[in-house]
Amino acid sequence: MKRTKQRINNLGYFEDVKIDTHRGDSPEFIDIDTTVTERPTGSISFGAGFSSVDKVIFNASIAQDNFLGRGQRLNFSTQLSARRSNFNLR
């Protein structure tokens, strides 16, 4: 159980992991209850900069590390300036 708890913790999605065991319906069975508390897995960032080519540049991104609880990362970012607009969805 200790190894299982550590492996769940190593995923990086949870603040707390609790594993409780108790006797099952018959003596040869054990029920295992796992309770997890998800940590915040999203982030938002904003920034600005200056380039001799693009002049003022604004950028922003939104990311979710555990999208829909499936362990997949979703990231949307944009970079805007007078000369160009970049959008990325990964």
Q: Strand 85-89: give its sheet, edge to edge.
A: 42-51, 55-67, 72-81, 85-89
> Is residue 69 predicted with pLDDT exceeding 90?
no
The SS3 of residue 1 is coil
> Is residue 64 predicted with pLDDT exceeding 90?
yes
| Domain positions in the chain | 2-38, 42-89
The SS3 of residue 50 is strand
Alpha-carbon dihedral angle through residues 13, 15, 17, 18, given to the nearest 10 degrees: -150
CA distances from 34 to 10, 31, 57 (A): 15, 10, 47
What tens digit of pLDDT does each residue of 24-35 get? 888 889 999 999
